[in-house]
Amino acid sequence: MGTEKSSPSGIELRKGLKTESIRIKFMYKGMECRESLKLAHTKANIKFAERLRGEILNAIQLQTFDYAKYFPDSPFLQKIGVPRRRNTQTVGDLMDQQFAIYERTLSPSTMTSYKRNRRVHLQPQWGSVLVAEVTPAMLRAWIAPLEMKARSLRQILIPLRGAFDLAVNDDLIEDNPLDRVKLKKILTREAYDNDFEPDPLNAQEITAILSRLDGQVRNVFQFAFCTGMRPSEYIALRWSEVDFDQMLVRVERSRVDGISRDELKTKSGRRTIDLRCGAHEALLNQQQYSAEGNDLVFLDPATGKGWDRSSRLALHWVPSLRRLELRHRNLYQTRHTFASTLLSANVNPLYVAKQMGHKDTTMITRSYGRWIEQHDNALPALFERSKDRQNPKA
């Protein structure tokens, strides 16, 4: 941790890799005392530290200074014979503070996930435990028997890690106990198997699924297959983002838990997609169900309103696979189908990456390498670009 010299007398501005603090210095009972305030180096905070130091110096001079009142968790208390006040903060208390921060900074969908994980996994186990009593060994003993994927476990641990970070910043504990828990030494190899391995559908399976569906449900799934958009993206699509003249769709929003937001999973997710024949056909067929303009393109036929969430779509997707006796895939496989279909037809990987909202080909190469190497399939008619069909010589 470094120290800046441009600070007022008795004040030190200290900076670590990720945090800033202000340390005040004063003499008490013949000893130099140094106490840190977890404050950023703003003018207001520096002025506060100066006033606090002045107040302490005045109290010392008047012999009214109560060290434990100002710094109840200071290790210096033991040196002057004052017992440290016992830290009674629980993990649940710290999670309350962490979730208050989340409410201001996270999207509703992320908050829903974090709240569920806290209610189901974290609060029952850790809510009433004193934060100062949590050890890495206790955390390892709790994690080891959990039968879940590493990806899921990391998501569950995010609020817990945040609560411990708050405790470190408030000097309740010296370090985050989760920093000394190495999941790869605890979890089984199976826990690291990818939950989202591509398992795309072939042309015959796509045709069979679409033939069993009709109306708006067929339209939304056909559009999903032929654009590679995420479910949260295509259920947020508005007619104003469809350009039939240029045969393009602009991806600008996402929709989760019935709320449309001008936010996407990544910065590169804001993109323009070429309309392919299947997607173009789906949109033309959808026009009879939803008004054009600035309204949502795809509507849930059960409610007449926009699809609230992808789980509503799954109510139609899963039974279709089951009726056709196809192996189960999650709805995200429409996106994998789009990518693998284009790559197998020797479409440029960088182009595919941009269509899917990736900034480069890293994810494409890692996830779809074997389809890039195939180069033996002609592009099915549904996946041909509409403008290429209209202008074959262009």
Structure tokens at 154: 């990391």
> Is residue 227 in a domain?
yes
Both 181 and 302 in a single domain?
no
Structure tokens at 143: 């994690």
Both 130 and 243 in a single domain?
no
- Residue 222's pLDDT is what? 97
Structure tokens at 152: 């899921």
- Residue 194's pLDDT is what? 56
Both 220 and 339 in a single domain?
yes
> Is residue 226 in a domain?
yes
Torsion of the alpha carbons at 359, 241, 340 and 386, rounded to the nearest 10: -120
Angle (CA) 170 175 176, round 5° = 95
- Give me the chain's average pLDDT, please: 87
User: What are the residues whose beta carbons fall under 8 Å from the beta carbon of 291, sequence distance 6 or more?
Assistant: 239
Both 218 and 329 in a single domain?
yes
Burial class (CB in 10 A: 0-12, 13-18, 19+), 103: exposed
> Is residue 164 in a domain?
yes
> Is residue 308 in a domain?
yes
- Residue 393's pLDDT is what? 46
Both 372 and 273 in a single domain?
yes
CATH number at residue 152: 1.10.150.130
- Residue 1's pLDDT is what? 47
CATH number at residue 66: 3.30.160
Residues of the chain with pLDDT under 50: 1-5, 195, 393-394
Alpha helices in the chain (DSSP H): 43-62, 67-70, 76-79, 91-105, 108-117, 123-126, 136-143, 150-169, 203-211, 215-227, 231-234, 277-286, 310-323, 333-344, 349-356, 362-374, 386-390
3 state SS of 377? coil
Domain boundary, last residue among 19, 47, 79 = 79
- Residue 189's pLDDT is what? 66
- Residue 20's pLDDT is what? 86
Q: Which residues form the domain of 17?
A: 2-79
> Is residue 85 in a domain?
no
Cα–Cα distance measured from residue 265 to residue 335, given in angstroms and rounded to the nearest whole number: 15
- Residue 3's pLDDT is what? 46
> Is residue 84 in a domain?
no
> Is residue 109 in a domain?
yes
Torsion of the alpha carbons at 121, 122, 123 and 127, rounded to the nearest 10: 150
User: What are the residues whose beta carbons fall under 8 Å from the beta carbon of 57, sequence distance 6 or more?
Assistant: 26
Both 236 and 133 in a single domain?
no
- Residue 349's pLDDT is what? 93
> Is residue 229 a contact partner of residue 273, using CB atoms and an 8 Å limit?
yes
Both 73 and 184 in a single domain?
no
Cα–Cα distance measured from residue 167 to residue 175, given in angstroms and rounded to the nearest whole number: 8
Cα–Cα distance measured from residue 383 to residue 66, given in angstroms and rounded to the nearest whole number: 75
> Is residue 57 a contact partner of residue 14, using CB atoms and an 8 Å limit?
no
- Residue 277's pLDDT is what? 96
Burial class (CB in 10 A: 0-12, 13-18, 19+), 61: exposed
Both 125 and 273 in a single domain?
no
Cα–Cα distance measured from residue 99 to residue 159, given in angstroms and rounded to the nearest whole number: 8
> Is residue 115 a contact partner of residue 104, using CB atoms and an 8 Å limit?
no
CATH number at residue 349: 1.10.443.10
- Residue 96's pLDDT is what? 95
Both 169 and 318 in a single domain?
no
> Is residue 197 in a domain?
no
Both 279 and 328 in a single domain?
yes
Structure tokens at 316: 């139609």
Domain boundary, last residue among 21, 50, 79 = 79
Domain boundary, last residue among 48, 79, 110 = 79
Both 26 and 107 in a single domain?
no
- Per DSSP bridges, beta strands 299-300 and 305-306 are antiparallel
User: What are the residues whose beta carbons fall under 8 Å from the beta carbon of 314, sequence distance 6 or more?
Assistant: 330, 331
- Residue 172's pLDDT is what? 83
Both 8 and 32 in a single domain?
yes
How many domains is the chain partitioned into structurally?
3
